[in-house]
Structure 1
Amino acid sequence: MYEGFNACPDLEKYSGEPVYHTKVVEQITGIRANTLRIWERRYHFLTPKRAENDYRLYSERDVVLLRWLKERIDNGMSISEAINFFERLDKVRKQHPPKQVDAASPLHSPHIFTVASRQAFTLPRGLEQQLRAQQDEFPEQEVSAPEPLPFPRETLPQLPEEILLLAQERLLTAFRNLDDTEAHMVLTPLLITYPVEQVCADLITPTLWKIGELWENHKITVTVEHFASNFFRGLLTNLFYMAPRPMHVPLVMISCAPGEAHELAALMLALVLRLQNVRVAYLGQSIESEGLIGSIQQLCPALVCVSLTIPSHLPNLLSLAQQIQKLPSPRPRFIFGGQAFLEYPNIAQDIPGVYIHGNMKEVVKQIQTLYTQQGIA
């Protein structure tokens, strides 16, 4: 009789015939009778019928809605917020009936290590030869990841397509108006209702791609792009530091390559891994190689993950990978990826380490496999 925790219930699918007494509804929903009466009087969203003995009678439709609202409340919403949230979702559902979504749709195709623009990069003249010359001095390499372990939350709910489209539209409007308050109002109920990693994968990453496309097509200014990037950076940073910090497990270091300033992909990956009970140290933009090597020697992490967006920093990434590979055992596995390798995938084979790519779920699977193996080793 129920569509699930995160689905917006289509009440028209359920019977409106009044058959359930208050006591039965109380048992089914866990909502006390006096609370029901207060909600009915204050918010006018239920109109139970009266039996001949004047007892209230509720329909299957009423029960489905009450259970949905109760779950929202149990996850942090007030009753008024839950009712408003349902009304918005129901309005969108009626205006935009659910449809089959193409798996290649831009809303679902971005890669966690590639959240900058889709613009094709041109390698500086001689860079590829320079990389291969450096690699000739250091032939040892490992370029493939093992088969991944199952993602621990295979049943993550999918945000309904109609909600994603509305949320993205509202976010883009808020960014054009430089309105962070409105942007927070869009994201807060979704972050309360859905797992953070699902909001990152289904909404934040595609919105970043969309912003990049709009900027490339001169439909938004650099000011708007910077505002949006800074908003998401602040949001993801706050979520990262509020997430539980697992202790007494192997450490993973995550950063951008030396010289690389595009950090949102690395930051999002750090957040998702921490939410999957991985002990993560996030090091931010343009890591300094000497300091990182010193921290590796001091803290002995299991993995070092580095993101690269701009190809001109590839020599820096290669140099860092080689320095890590030269460390005495036990040394961490070096993992790398990013948009720089989408246009030039063959260059990945010249870097000693494990190249990973794909969407968030795929990347996290690969990293968790390597994390488990390294921890056992």
Structure 2
Amino acid sequence: MSVYSIKDLEHLSGIKAHTLRIWEQRYGILNPERTDTNIRTYGDEELKLVLNIAILQSRGDFKISEIAKMSDSERSANLLRLSEGNLHFPDQIQALTISMLELNEAMFQQLTKNIIQKHGFEDYLIQIIHPFMLRLGTLWLSGSVGPAQEHFISHLIRQKVIAAIDQQDLSFKPTAKKFLLYLPEGELHEIGLLFANYILRARKHQVIYLGQSLPFEELVLAYDIHQPDYILSVFTSQPNPDDMPDYLEKLVERIPNSKILLTGYQLLALGHEVPEKIHVLRSFQELIELANTN
């Protein structure tokens, strides 16, 4: 079980710590443990409860006194009912977080169905899943999410993106560019690359998708065969920071005639300097604009 401070609950839910303390005293909603120095700590159940409350209360449909009296099943049922209406994007991200923490596939599938029907698949990716994955990264680094929860939700999202790609029309527009997509050797975090695949195919570009953990020499081989206009990769955990400068120099040297597009935590968060020929994508909106103008 994960352990959270009251500040963690505030950060993840948006509800002020002061308000949580009042609710704890007035309604008995939370039952924290206390350390030897009398500091409140909370577990997974308290986090899920606070996320539920944040969604139910933000819509104004329920007072906190009413939410406090609900059972877990009643809160979940009300959350799903609200998701069929007009939940704002932050609330939908909160709801997906709850489905992950509960390992609740039925809830994930229903939420996803409601969101896609209302907003379409691309908005589902850009407005909800992408910020959700950023939150997941924060939760993972803080130890708030375990491997089972991360694997569970990543697998479900990956399935959704692959299914959407399979349904796309594979014809190209006359001005289509050729994009080669890959992940470096050892890199297994594929969802961001699948996002890019979907975005480019939706705009009728040609995509050669090479997927996870590609050895560098195989990348060069594919480049020699296809001579793509662009090479795109997402560096989430690989290459490691010590190897990054050499890897980037090799890319520039061995891939001389393609434009190189890179993104991912290893570049964005660690602040690596990159060779002039490499363009760092800082958002998926940049990729969308590039795809729309070509």
TM range (shorter): 0.5 to 0.7
Structure 1 stretches (4+) deviating beyond 6 angstroms? 89-92
Contact map agreement 1:356 1:363 (CA 8 A) in 2: no
RMSD: 2.9
What pairs with 1:110-121 in structure 2 (closer than 5 Å)? Answer: none
1:279 pairs with 2:210:
no
- 1:182: which partner in 2? 107
Q: Could you say if the C-alpha distance between residues 93 and 308 of structure 1 is closer, same or farther in structure 2, counting changes exceeding 3 Å?
A: same
For 1:186 and 1:279, locate their aligned partners in 2 and report how far apart those are by CA, in whole Å. 32
- 2:136: which partner in 1? 211
For 2:261 and 2:229, locate their aligned partners in 1 and report how far apart those are by CA, in whole Å. 11
Q: How many residues align?
A: 212
- 2:264: which partner in 1? 338
Q: Give the structure with higher Rg (CA).
A: 1
Residue of structure 2 aligned with 1:354, choices 244, 265, 278? 278
Q: Could you say if the C-alpha distance between residues 217 and 343 of structure 1 is closer, same or farther in structure 2, counting changes exceeding 3 Å?
A: closer
Q: Deviations over 1:298-319 (max 9, x none)?
A: 2232211122123515233432
Q: Could you say if the C-alpha distance between residues 295 and 179 of structure 1 is closer, same or farther in structure 2, counting changes exceeding 3 Å?
A: same
Q: Deviations over 1:109-165 (max 9, x none)?
A: xxxxxxxxxxxxxxxxxxxxxxxxxxxxxxxxxxxxxxxxxxxxxxxxxxx994323
For 2:230 and 2:281, locate their aligned partners in 1 and report how far apart those are by CA, in whole Å. 16
Q: Could you say if the C-alpha distance between residues 263 and 353 of structure 1 is closer, same or farther in structure 2, counting changes exceeding 3 Å?
A: farther
Q: Could you say if the C-alpha distance between residues 294 and 346 of structure 1 is closer, same or farther in structure 2, counting changes exceeding 3 Å?
A: closer
Q: Could you say if the C-alpha distance between residues 235 and 346 of structure 1 is closer, same or farther in structure 2, counting changes exceeding 3 Å?
A: same
What pairs with 1:316-327 in structure 2 (closer than 5 Å)? Answer: 316-325=247-256
Deviation at 1:187, TM superposition (A): 0.7
Q: Could you say if the C-alpha distance between residues 223 and 322 of structure 1 is closer, same or farther in structure 2, counting changes exceeding 3 Å?
A: same
1:251 pairs with 2:178:
yes
- 1:164: which partner in 2? 89
- 1:21: which partner in 2? none
Unaligned stretches of 5+ in structure 2? 1-54, 63-84
For 2:143 and 2:272, locate their aligned partners in 1 and report how far apart those are by CA, in whole Å. 31
For 1:368 and 1:288, locate their aligned partners in 2 and report how far apart those are by CA, in whole Å. 31
- 2:45: which partner in 1? none
Unaligned stretches of 5+ in structure 1? 1-88, 97-159, 326-330, 373-377
Deviation at 1:324, TM superposition (A): 1.0
Q: Deviations over 1:171-218 (max 9, x none)?
A: 222222222222111011221222322111111011112222223333
Q: Give me the TM-score of the superposition, normalised by structure 2.
A: 0.63
Residue of structure 2 aligned with 1:223, choices 141, 148, 162? 148
For 1:368 and 1:253, locate their aligned partners in 2 and report how far apart those are by CA, in whole Å. 17
Deviation at 1:346, TM superposition (A): 4.5
Q: Could you say if the C-alpha distance between residues 368 and 336 of structure 1 is closer, same or farther in structure 2, counting changes exceeding 3 Å?
A: farther
- 1:269: which partner in 2? 196
**Secondary structure at 1:95 match in 2:** coil
What pairs with 1:1-377 in structure 2 (closer than 5 Å)? Answer: 93-95=59-61, 162-247=87-172, 249-310=176-237, 311-312=239-240, 314=244, 315-325=246-256, 331-348=257-274, 350=275, 353-369=277-293, 372=294
% identity of equivalent residues:
18
Q: Give me the TM-score of the superposition, normalised by structure 1.
A: 0.50
Contact map agreement 1:336 1:353 (CA 8 A) in 2: no
